[in-house]
């Protein structure tokens, strides 16, 4: 059952599981990546799996690269499902952008860029993607650091990630909005 798998895997990735090992985190991410390929993958969102994966990507600086890559593999799979697309744009966009701007590995870059491309395919997500692109370009042009969080969002802090500055003009132009 996708829901039961998502619930167990999400719990393993939960910030409350302070003693969770890196291998356990990677295993939970890989389990969710496989479950995301099943027909009822929207259950992963309902059971907190998408949120847990975004939290892993958001703290990727403190994790081994294989953990980040495993979480991104699950997110790229989930980003094909419309409900997950909207959740990822609302809560995961500012966690994905630093991975695109300063990737820990070539595979992490490909997975994050693939996720953003999948999100751009949803017409309901394009306005937020375009807004993020404008914010990052404006920051780059003015020489100001990019915003640390998504503009005008008051969601859980674990769902947001500092934007890591506009180091390159990659922004969302990668996904050709």
Give per-residue pLDDT as tens, 115-130: 999 999 999 888 888 8
Q: Are 72 and 103 in contact, with CB atoms under 8 Å apart?
A: no
Q: Which are the contacts of 105, defined by CB distance < 8 A and separation ≥ 6?
A: 65, 68, 69
Q: Is the entire prediction scored with pTM above 0.75?
A: no
Give per-residue pLDDT as tens, 93-105: 989 988 988 899 9
Q: How distant is the alpha carbon of residue 157 from its chain centre?
A: 14
């Amino acid at each position: 059952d996708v829901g039961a798998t998502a619930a167990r895997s999400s719990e393993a990735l939960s910030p409350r599981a302070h003693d969770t090992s890196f291998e356990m985190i990677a295993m939970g991410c890989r389990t969710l990546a496989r479950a995301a390929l099943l027909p009822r993958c929207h259950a992963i969102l309902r059971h907190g799996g998408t949120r847990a994966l975004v939290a892993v990507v958001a703290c990727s600086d403190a994790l081994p690269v294989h953990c980040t890559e495993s979480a991104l593999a699950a997110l790229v799979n989930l980003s094909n499902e419309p409900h997950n697309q909207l959740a990822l744009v609302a809560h995961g966009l500012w966690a994905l952008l630093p991975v695109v701007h300063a990737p820990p590995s070539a595979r992490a870059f490909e997975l994050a860029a693939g996720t953003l491309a999948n999100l751009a395919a949803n017409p309901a997500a394009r306005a937020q993607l375009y807004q993020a692109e404008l914010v990052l370009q404006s920051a780059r042009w003015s020489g100001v650091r990019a915003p640390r969080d998504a503009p005008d969002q008051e969601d859980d802090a674990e769902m947001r990630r500092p934007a890591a500055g506009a180091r390159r003009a990659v922004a969302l132009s990668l996904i050709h909005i």
